[in-house]
């Protein structure tokens, strides 16, 4: 009896069933594993370049006095490590968040710009910022390294109601409470001097210190008569590239601090993850952060 050949479609179906029955061959398994292994870093790179760097998060913190309702409260917003180069989507979201928060104080804690050519963009950004009576800025390492004339930066800030504090303190009253803000120069680009910043100042019951590098907490002690309620720093970018929360490298001046609160062995310190990026335009596992502090005054 003559055998009839199986049709090509029937051969394909039977072959597929046979392969399924056998399971994947070693070669097929290795090939698929290789594709998956290659896809994971690709997805991570896409996220790190195009998703996470533009994803602004907000954190809120209560400090001082236990937050009793009868106490005066000061709302402080911290903008750190903006590394401003353009007014894009992230910057627009930041501006909208600043307006929505209705802060009493805005603190720019260094590395607002990292190149001289960014001064026009900073002018535009500050023009769009909330016009608060109390806005303060300090220098970071990049304000020094970029070669931006500090006099020009100070004048630009002044035009928009921002006071640049370089080893200097200011004092004001909030609902009958005295408040002091001390701004220190950068640790690795400048010369922080807490004694000079507080020279001839009387002790103040409410005191916040702005210092770009968190290592200042250990390297530059405050005068004993001028303890700080808390310090605000940035610089680390939360590691900037920290897959699965594992920080690959911290910049010099971090002092082992990464992000969030540190309350042991010194004044309470908050390290912001900051807004922008430095050296590489990528963030993995370290989203940009706008930090808000609801400070109950004593």
Tens of pLDDT, residues 173-212: 999 999 999 999 999 999 999 999 999 999 999 999 999 9
- Residue 218 CA from chain centroid, whole number: 20
Reported as a single tens digit per residue, the pLDDT across 49-76 is 545 778 999 999 999 865 556 789 999 9
pTM for the structure as a whole: 0.84
8: confidence class by pLDDT, cuts 50, 70, 90: very low
Is the pLDDT at 2 greater than 80? The verdict is no
Measured from the Cβ of residue 68, the count of other Cβ atoms closer than 10 Å reads: 8
Q: What percent of the chain has pLDDT over 70?
A: 81
CB neighbours of 89 closer than 8 A, spacing ≥ 6? 54
Reported CATH class of domain 57-296? alpha beta
Q: Are the C-beta atoms of 113 and 143 separated by less than 8 Å? A: yes
34 burial level (CB within 10 Å; 0-12, 13-18, 19+): exposed
Q: What is the mean pLDDT of residues 1-19?
A: 38
Q: Which residues contact 291 (CB under 8 A, 6 or more apart)?
A: 58, 59, 60, 61, 77, 78, 80, 232, 270, 272
pLDDT tens track for 90-99? 999 999 999 9
Q: Mean of the per-residue pLDDT values for the chain?
A: 87
What pLDDT is recorded for position 37? Answer: 47
| Tokens encoding 57 | 């998060």
């Amino acid at each position: 009896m003559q055998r009839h050949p199986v049709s090509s479609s029937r051969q394909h179906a039977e072959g597929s069933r046979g392969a399924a029955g056998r399971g994947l061959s070693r070669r097929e398994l290795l090939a698929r594993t290789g594709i998956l292994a290659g896809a994971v870093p690709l997805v991570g790179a896409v996220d790190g370049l195009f998703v996470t760097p533009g994803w602004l998060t907000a954190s809120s913190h209560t400090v001082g006095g236990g937050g009793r309702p009868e106490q005066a409260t000061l709302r402080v917003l911290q903008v750190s490590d903006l590394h401003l180069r353009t007014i894009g989507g992230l910057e627009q979201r930041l501006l909208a968040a600043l307006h929505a928060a209705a802060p009493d104080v805005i603190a720019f804690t260094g590395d607002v710009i990292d190149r001289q050519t960014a001064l026009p963009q900073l002018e535009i950004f500050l023009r769009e910022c909330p016009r608060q009576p109390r806005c303060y800025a300090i220098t970071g390492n990049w304000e020094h390294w970029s070669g931006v004339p500090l006099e020009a930066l100070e004048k630009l800030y002044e035009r928009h109601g921002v006071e640049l504090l370089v080893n200097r303190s200011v004092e004001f009253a909030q609902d009958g409470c005295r408040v002091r803000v001390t701004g220190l120069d950068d640790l690795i680009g400048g010369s922080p001097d807490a004694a000079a910043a507080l020279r001839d100042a009387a002790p103040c019951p409410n005191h916040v210190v702005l210092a770009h590098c968190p290592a200042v907490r250990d390297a530059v002690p405050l005068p004993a008569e001028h303890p700080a309620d808390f310090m605000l720093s940035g610089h680390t970018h939360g590691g900037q590239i920290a897959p699965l929360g594992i920080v690959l490298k911290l910049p010099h001046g971090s002092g082992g601090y990464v992000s969030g609160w540190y309350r042991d062995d010194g004044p309470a310190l908050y390290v912001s993850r900051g807004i922008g990026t430095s050296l590489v335009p990528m963030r993995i596992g370290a989203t940009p952060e706008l930090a808000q502090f609801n400070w109950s005054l004593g």
